[in-house]
């Protein structure tokens, strides 16, 4: 990130690079690690032909922006909420989703999937969230319950936010009470959370409202009668602090669309501040009796990620963010059987360059930037110069983009090698660009590369341990018997349960 940001100050170098503009032997810059595809590498036998084709003058009018980063046709995020998650569940799930390690669910998928987290837990909900009889009050959270001093999973949350397994705020925590007319929420929790963000130099752009009517700090839905987080006169007013912390995208309501052209819609908070609202696929509408058909329970994951759904976003070139509670189930890790197959199918769609699976914050940032990017194209006879100067965002305001802001942005061009990119007036060096073969439209393109893939096992890196890790919870006495689930052929499959230990932690 740091080196990209220095681009504008190294203007001298970039101008020199641009001015030299020598014909270069063709080497593909497509990061094969990023797409998992190696078939783009050109062999020397076709190099000359490729050079001749790619160095021909840019056809005037041929430069247009592609909707998604090359080579993808759609983009999808799995936004899993913090409800019912323990540190142990979190590790089990994300080692499978995010790494290539061997796990109890099989070889990891290496996908970019991040969750939300809680700062505080102020709920009186009875019952347990796992097979260790962990109470709801001990969900994974930054602070110990409602303490503003005692930490619980702070170190792990900071660590995994940096690793990229956490990227969203789930409100400021779980304040759901059995009696929804009472609340333990106070504004001072927002002040404490903000201090923690500053101390750890963390910034979350995504805010996901949590829970029942006791969560009076929620905000963003003007029709809500209980939300007071954006009402200046309320003692629960916190939107000023949350917006100041860097929140740009707010999830406020249910939605039954799996795929959409854009995930964003403008909202004006009741204190007058504008932010983007975003959609998440949470349900399939209502049944004939008027009950909502929620599908964000982990046992509905396969239904959410059905082959038909994936095909639909691919052919119509749509975004999708599915809401989930992957750690919400009290007994079993939900990744087995049909859910496991659905995730493997999604990983294939990603590896084959069809659907870009990205954490929610990255998908939303890309969506916003791609939608509001302002650029001009100048055809100079041989070259085309694409000058990207602003993100003309009507909600968050106009701003000059950094290279990190425009990651993944792709332009079709009849001659990508003769197409130059300028960012805020500075030439982007060729080494920072990625030149792409023709995609399904028949047009080649040039891209600013997407974020590098990160599949390292974050749980092996130092500093991950939970502050509240209590190894005595691993006593085998807490293990409940497997519930056997028959598959279509009637074969009994043992679902994995939360007590499975993979590593000596
Ligand atoms: Zn929640």
Find the mean pLDDT for residues 181-196.
Answer: 97
Query: Do 341 and 409 belong to one domain?
Result: no
Q: Residue 66 domain-assigned?
A: yes
* Average pLDDT of the chain, as a whole number: 86
H helices present in 21-130, as ranges: 32-35, 47-54, 87-98
Model confidence, pTM: 0.84
Region of residue 343 (phi > 0: left; psi between -120 and 50: alpha; otherwise: beta): alpha
Note the pLDDT of residue 45.
59
Select from 453, 468, 497 the last residue of a domain: 453
Q: DSSP for 195-255? A: HHHHHTT----EEE--SSTT-TT--S-TT-SS--TT-TTSTT--HHHHHHTT--EEE-S--
Extract the tokens encoding 411: 């332009």
C-beta of residue 321 within 8 angstroms of C-beta of residue 360: yes
Q: Residue 433 domain-assigned?
A: yes
Q: Residue 384 domain-assigned?
A: yes
What's the start-to-end Cα distance of the chain, in Å? 31
Read off the pLDDT band of 220 (50, 70, 90). Answer: very high
Query: Do 423 and 433 belong to one domain?
Result: yes
Q: How far apart are CA 359 and CA 50, in angstroms?
A: 35
Query: Do 60 and 145 belong to one domain?
Result: no
Measure 173 CA to ligand 1 centroid, in angstroms: 8
Of the candidate ranges 3-17, 233-247, 339-353, the one whose mean pLDDT is the lowest: 3-17
Note the pLDDT of residue 334.
92
Query: Do 121 and 213 belong to one domain?
Result: yes
pLDDT over 90 (residue 365): yes
Measure 90 CA to ligand 1 centroid, in angstroms: 15
Query: Do 334 and 394 belong to one domain?
Result: no
Read off the pLDDT band of 10 (50, 70, 90). Answer: very low
Residue closest to 95 by CA, chosen among 469, 436, 502: 502
Note the pLDDT of residue 180.
94
Of the candidate ranges 185-189, 196-200, 465-469, the one whose mean pLDDT is the lowest: 465-469
Query: Do 206 and 270 belong to one domain?
Result: yes
Extract the tokens encoding 80: 């899993």
Residue closest to 30 by CA, chosen among 329, 435, 396: 435
Query: Do 63 and 88 belong to one domain?
Result: no
Q: How far apart are CA 246 and CA 249, in angstroms?
A: 9
Q: Residue 16 domain-assigned?
A: no
Measure 175 CA to ligand 1 centroid, in angstroms: 10
Note the pLDDT of residue 252.
93
Note the pLDDT of residue 122.
97
Extract the tokens encoding 187: 């504004």
* Residues 221-259: tens digit of each pLDDT: 989 999 999 999 999 999 999 999 999 999 999 999 999
Read off the pLDDT band of 486 (50, 70, 90). Answer: low
Q: Where does residue 406 rank: exposed (0-12), middle (13-18), buried (19+ CB within 10 A)?
A: buried
SS3 state of residue 193: helix
C-beta of residue 96 within 8 angstroms of C-beta of residue 108: yes
Q: Rounded to whole angstroms, what are the CA distances from 44 to 39, 40, 113, 291, 418?
A: 14, 13, 37, 62, 21
Measure 148 CA to ligand 1 centroid, in angstroms: 21
Backbone angles phi, psi at 497, to 5 degrees: -120, 165
Q: Residue 133 domain-assigned?
A: yes
Q: How far apart are CA 367 and CA 359, in angstroms?
A: 12
* Residues 35-58: tens digit of each pLDDT: 444 444 455 555 666 555 557 899
Measure 81 CA to ligand 1 centroid, in angstroms: 6
Q: How far apart are CA 97 and CA 112, in angstroms?
A: 8
pLDDT over 50 (residue 146): yes
Of residues 167 and 487, the one with the higher pLDDT is 167
Give the number of residues written for the chain. Answer: 505
Query: Do 294 and 420 belong to one domain?
Result: no
Select from 409, 426, 453 the last residue of a domain: 453
Measure 427 CA to ligand 1 centroid, in angstroms: 45
Query: Do 125 and 184 belong to one domain?
Result: yes
Note the pLDDT of residue 19.
34
Measure 129 CA to ligand 1 centroid, in angstroms: 14
Measure 140 CA to ligand 1 centroid, in angstroms: 12
Q: Residue 98 domain-assigned?
A: yes
Of residues 132 and 479, the one with the higher pLDDT is 132
Query: Do 280 and 382 belong to one domain?
Result: no
Q: Where does residue 254 rank: exposed (0-12), middle (13-18), buried (19+ CB within 10 A)?
A: middle
The answer for residues whose C-beta is within 8 angstroms of residue 54's C-beta and 6 or more apart is: 26, 415, 416, 417, 418, 435, 444
Find the mean pLDDT for residues 453-479.
Answer: 55
Measure 189 CA to ligand 1 centroid, in angstroms: 17
Tokens 């854009």 locate to: 262
Query: Do 177 and 80 belong to one domain?
Result: yes
Measure 248 CA to ligand 1 centroid, in angstroms: 19
Measure 484 CA to ligand 1 centroid, in angstroms: 28
Q: Residue 402 domain-assigned?
A: yes
Query: Do 181 and 246 belong to one domain?
Result: yes
Q: How far apart are CA 459 and CA 348, in angstroms?
A: 24
Q: Which residues surround ligand 1, an ion (CB under 5 A)?
A: 81, 83, 210
Per the structure, the count of domains in the chain is: 2
pLDDT over 70 (residue 321): yes
Q: Is the dihedral of CA 21, 26, 31, 33 positive or negative?
A: negative
Q: Residue 478 domain-assigned?
A: no
Measure 318 CA to ligand 1 centroid, in angstroms: 26
Q: Provide the domain limits for residue 281.
A: 74-352
Q: How far apart are CA 411 and CA 436, in angstroms?
A: 10
Measure 283 CA to ligand 1 centroid, in angstroms: 15
C-beta of residue 336 within 8 angstroms of C-beta of residue 491: no
Q: Is the dihedral of CA 489, 490, 496, 498 positive or negative?
A: positive
């Amino acid at each position: 990130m740091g080196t990209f940001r220095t681009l504008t100050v190294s203007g001298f170098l970039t101008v020199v690079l641009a001015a030299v503009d020598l014909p270069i032997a063709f080497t593909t810059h497509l990061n094969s690690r990023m797409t998992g595809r190696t078939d783009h590498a050109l062999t020397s036998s076709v190099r000359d032909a490729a050079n001749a084709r790619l160095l021909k003058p840019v056809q005037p009018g041929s430069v247009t922006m592609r909707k998604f980063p090359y080579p993808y046709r759609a983009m999808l995020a799995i936004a899993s909420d913090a409800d019912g998650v323990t540190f142990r569940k979190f590790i089990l799930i994300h080692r499978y989703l995010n790494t290539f390690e061997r796990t109890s669910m099989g070889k990891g998928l290496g996908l970019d999937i991040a969750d939300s987290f809680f700062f505080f837990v102020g709920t009186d909900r009875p019952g347990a969230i796992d097979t260790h009889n962990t109470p709801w009050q001990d969900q994974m959270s930054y602070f110990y319950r409602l303490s503003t001093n005692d930490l619980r999973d702070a170190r792990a949350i900071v660590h995994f936010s940096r690793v990229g397994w956490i990227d969203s705020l789930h409100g400021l925590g779980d304040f759901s009470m059995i009696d929804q007319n009472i609340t333990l929420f106070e504004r001072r929790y927002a002040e404490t959370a903000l201090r923690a963000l500053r101390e750890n130099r963390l910034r979350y752009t995504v805010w996901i409202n949590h829970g029942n009517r006791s969560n009076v700090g929620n905000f963003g839905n003007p029709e809500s009668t209980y939300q007071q987080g954006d009402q200046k006169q309320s003692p629960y007013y916190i939107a000023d602090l949350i917006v100041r912390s860097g929140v740009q995208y707010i999830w406020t309501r249910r939605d039954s669309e799996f795929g959409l052209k854009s995930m964003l819609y403008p909202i004006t908070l009741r204190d007058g501040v504008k932010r983007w609202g975003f959609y998440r696929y949470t349900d399939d509408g209502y049944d004939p009796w008027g009950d909502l058909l929620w599908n964000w329970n982990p046992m509905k994951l396969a239904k959410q990620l059905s082959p038909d759904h994936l095909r639909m976003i691919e052919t119509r070139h749509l975004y999708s963010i599915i809401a989930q509670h992957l750690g919400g189930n009290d007994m079993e890790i939900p990744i087995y059987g049909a859910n496991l197959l659905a995730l493997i199918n999604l990983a294939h769609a990603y590896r084959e360059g069809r659907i870009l699976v990205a954490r929610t914050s990255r998908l939303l940032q890309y969506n916003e930037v791609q939608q509001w990017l302002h650029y001009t194209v100048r055809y100079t006879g041989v070259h085309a110069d694409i000058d990207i100067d602003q993100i003309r965002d009507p909600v968050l305001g106009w701003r000059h983009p950094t290279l990190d802001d425009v990651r993944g942005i792709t332009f079709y061009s009849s001659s990508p090698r003769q197409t130059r990119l300028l960012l805020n007036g500075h030439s982007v060096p060729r080494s920072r660009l990625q030149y792409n073969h023709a995609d399904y439209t028949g047009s080649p393109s040039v891209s600013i590369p997407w974020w590098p893939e990160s599949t390292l096992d974050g749980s092996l890196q130092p500093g991950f341990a939970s502050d509240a890790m209590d190894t005595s919870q691993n006593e085998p006495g807490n293990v409940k018997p497997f519930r056997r689930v028959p598959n279509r052929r009637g074969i009994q499959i043992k679902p994995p349960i939360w007590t499975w230990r993979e590593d000596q932690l």
